[in-house]
Structure 1
């Protein structure tokens, strides 16, 4: 029996973990030849990529590094990294020749992925199309990816309708829910705050908040005002678990301020990624603060304020 070759692209923790259950299912299938295309913050070009990837448990999967890590987080630096990724992607896809390419979300570098796939006549399956964001350029990128894709797996009926309004044939749109929620079927609530403290190597005191703040790309001038307001509010809490922002314009400034805050306070600890224990952490905090989509999808699912 000929195996169906499926390639999955992941470039950040923002898509790495929502894709986790899909990767696991394909890895376990005897009908699929799975290939991973890894770039952006997960590329080996990033010195911190090992803190984000977590691929060690799948040694048999073929992984192609497609580069695209931005050395500087200015618009020019990010554009340069994406531009350099495009020829690598095109060459890799021409060599791998997957039957279908899976992408998720709305990150800018996925436009290069979709462009390369189009040049190579490889069909694209897009996950999480049709959603809405405020304060960022995500909507425009997401809709562009929708129009470059051939199959659409969305999280809600509202997303289905918005994809259809873009002119997509409804027969190619499937409401499958958010794959990131699959992890909570396996997440185990800790018996006590002490157990979670041991896992994080951070002494937690309630109330505990999980905080993530990404640059609002349509309002970059007010980053410092918003961030300082969040820090001031969090200073009154027992403990704050912070996940640092990804590769976006001015995220380096946010990282610098959060690092400064961490060094001057004993009630905050910052992480590049919470990796496999993210679900367990979120399940046990008292609330979430910031502007991460996880505050809508996963926190909403769990009933975390």
Structure 2
């Protein structure tokens, strides 16, 4: 029996943690062959080159696709997506996979979906059916309509994909692979010094005692406000005096504004409680979160992994609008007073009850088994 060739395309830093345990399970499955393609901002040092961590974890990269145009604005996003379609079409033509996996909702993922589906290659969409804000939700649902197999992360998402007209037999709730990683480290203390291990820039802070983590990205349909938005968070965090590990934003439209806001604040104010990082190994990042007093920003890690771990989260703005969440999340607008009050409440309130919306910690193995056994097909039956 020949192995099924499963091509996984990772286009950005956060996508690796969203698929890592599934990569391992596919690689180890006797009836599957992993083909790994790294593309987009996952290859760029300024956004924390994910390829370095992927290789270090023992995965072989079959192809690299450089496709990101400078600009971090809507036009650059559109052109990057177009380049991605052209380059990935060649990659799939050469690799001849039996199925292609596209992950979640980042704008580059639609390039993967188009390049695969237009070549009649069965498309597997991981984490469809969720709602958020901005262009991400449109991309997620567009991926859903191009995909043939849907491996969703929650029952709510499964029901939504079925309502979109997809065949229920091919919409399966596996949970999210990122929860597998959270399950692995849920009882671990922080056993490393982030500054010593990863460097970063800014103040020399210690992870001992109460510290917080910040991960704030631009919102693509509010990209003109990115600099103003991040400045408010910076001011609140600086005034709090809490040791803070702050992570660089994604390459979305508006990232230049967020980055400029961080650099300007760092140079002019020289905060003595903030250390800035580009990236960390997925498990180390979760260990840092798990032992923190709170996460601040607008990342989905606050909804998924922090919900599973019970870490308090101050979620700012509309980026995670309408997404299913646990009791660990405090939602606030981009207003200094509201952010400061929520931060105080989160730090003082302590750990929250764990939420299991996005799986039980075994998603990777489930995904591999489904890929090995389900009939992979391109032409699907759609009912409306």
Offset at 1:24? 1.2
Give 1:196 deviation, angstroms: 5.3
Structure 1 match to 2:372: none
Contact 2:77 2:107 (8 Å CA) reproduced = no
Q: Secondary structure at the match of 2:34?
A: strand
Partner SS, residue 54 of structure 2 = coil
Partner in structure 2 of residue 217 of structure 1: 220
The answer to whether structure 1 residue 246 and structure 2 residue 245 are counterparts is no
Query: Could you give the per-residue CA deviations for residues 185-242 of structure 1, whole angstroms, max 9, x where no partner exists?
Result: 33262367x8556445542264311111111122234334432221122111321111
Deviation at 1:266, TM superposition (A): 2.1
SS in 2 for 1:56: helix
Which residue of structure 1 lines up, in the alignment, with residue 182 of structure 2? 184
List per-residue Cα deviations over 1:98-142 (Å, max 9, x = no partner): 1111111101111111111012110111111111113x2211111
8 Å contact 1:259–1:270 — kept in the other structure?
no
C-alpha separation in 2, matches of 1:191 and 1:64 = 35
Distance in 1 between residues matched to 2:281 and 2:177, nearest whole Å: 16
How many residue pairs get aligned? The number is 301
CA drift of 1:60 comes to 6.4
Q: In the TM superposition, what are the counterparts of 1:18-33 in structure 2 within 5 Å? A: 18-33=18-33
Matches within 5 A, 1:275-286: 275-276=281-282, 277-286=284-293
Give the structure 1 partner of residue 69 of structure 2. Answer: 70
Correspondence 1:4 to 2:10? no
Instruction: Check if 1:273 corresponds to 2:286.
Output: no
> What is aligned with 1:295?
302
Give the deviation of 1:28 after TM superposition. 2.0
Q: List runs of 5+ in structure 2 lacking aligned partners.
A: 313-384
Q: Could you tell me how far 1:9 is from its partner in structure 2?
A: 0.5
> Cα RMSD between the aligned structures?
2.1
**Can you give the 5+ residue segments of structure 1 that lack an aligned partner in the other structure?**
none
Q: After alignment, is 74-83 or 18-27 more displaced?
A: 74-83
Quick one: distance in 2 between partners of 1:129 and 1:191?
33
Answer 1 or 2: higher relative contact order, Cα 8 Å, separation at least 6: 2
Please show how residues 121-270 of structure 1 align to structure 2 within 5 Å. 121-134=120-133, 136-187=134-185, 189-190=188-189, 195=193, 198-200=196-198, 202-204=204-206, 206-235=209-238, 236-263=240-267, 264-270=270-276
What is the TM-score with the length of structure 2 in the denominator? 0.73
